[in-house]
């Protein structure tokens, strides 16, 4: 700016602009501002006139103090930490690639949670007797379900037999397995064929009687040999 008091010469390492500090002369026109075009980088460094601020910068650059584009890029690259990446050829500053629990390519905001990275501590808190599952009868997001008191008592049981013992149920054995395999219908009879081997005898017809087969190994239905017998008894009531 024209008219500024310059009591100290402009200097840089090894160079002195102006031999000695002198008071600058007023710019032509009685102190009016002088354009950068007049006092540009062609300014010869004398101190009896006041160069404009841009002219000073231009002069310093012509004296060898300016950075080349490559030097400026390298300087910026040296100032960034590992969270930023400097691509020299672009030039471009971009975020470095993310690694660890959350990953992303360099310069990309599309992040991905790494497999097996979400710990239980990072999940939402659950109320007591709740577990993660899905109650709604369809495919969808996980939900919380309730563990009943009865279910909680068997959670640490190793097998079905242990669960039955905890719940006071009948232990599972061969007889129960055989019984579960039978088809029970109205009027049928269940009988044993052998140890832990059951069979079902379907109901007979009207008038048939249950007898033992010829081999005496299983029951069967047969017609009554003697027909129907009616027994009549007379009771006398005697008074005193």
Question: Which secondary structure element, helix H or strand E, spans residue 220, and what is its range?
Answer: strand 219-223
Residues with pLDDT less than 50, the chain: 1-34, 36-39, 238-240
pLDDT of residue 186: 92
Give the span between the Cα atoms of 45 and 157, in whole angstroms: 95
Check: CB of residue 69 under 8 Å from CB of residue 90. no
Say if residue 91 is preceded by a cis peptide, omega within 30 of 0: yes
Q: Which of 53, 89, 55 is nearest to 69 (CA)?
A: 89
pLDDT of residue 27: 43
The pLDDT mean for the chain works out to 73
pLDDT of residue 219: 92
Give the span between the Cα atoms of 213 and 188, in whole angstroms: 17
How many Cβ atoms are within 10 Å of 59's Cβ, its own excluded?
Answer: 20
E strands within 52-150?
84-87, 92-95, 102-103, 112-113, 130-133, 143-146
Give the span between the Cα atoms of 20 and 4, in whole angstroms: 16
Give the span between the Cα atoms of 230 and 49, in whole angstroms: 153
């Amino acid at each position: 700016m024209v008219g500024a008091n310059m009591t100290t010469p402009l200097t840089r390492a090894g160079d002195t602009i102006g031999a000695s500090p002198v008071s600058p002369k007023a710019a032509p026109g009685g102190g009016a501002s002088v354009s950068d075009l007049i006092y540009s980088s062609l300014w010869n460094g004398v101190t009896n006139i006041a160069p404009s601020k841009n002219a000073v910068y231009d002069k310093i650059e012509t004296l060898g103090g300016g950075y080349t584009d490559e030097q400026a890029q390298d300087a910026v690259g040296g100032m960034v930490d590992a969270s930023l990446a400097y691509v020299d050829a672009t030039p471009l500053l971009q975020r470095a690639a993310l690694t660890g629990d959350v990953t992303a390519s360099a310069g990309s905001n599309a992040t991905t949670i790494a497999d097996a990275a979400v710990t239980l501590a990072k999940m939402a808190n659950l109320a007591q007797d709740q577990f993660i599952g899905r109650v709604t009868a369809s495919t969808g997001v996980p939900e919380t379900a309730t563990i009943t008191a009865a279910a909680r008592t068997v959670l640490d049981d190793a097998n079905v037999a242990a669960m039955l013992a905890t719940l006071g149920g009948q232990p599972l054995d061969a007889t129960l397995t055989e019984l579960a395999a039978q088809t029970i219908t109205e009027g049928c009879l269940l009988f044993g064929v052998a140890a832990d081997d059951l069979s079902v005898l379907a109901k007979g017809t009207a008038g048939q009687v249950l007898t033992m087969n010829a081999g005496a190994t299983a029951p069967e239905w047969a017609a009554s040999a003697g027909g129907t017998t009616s027994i009549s008894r007379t009771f006398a009531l005697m008074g005193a």
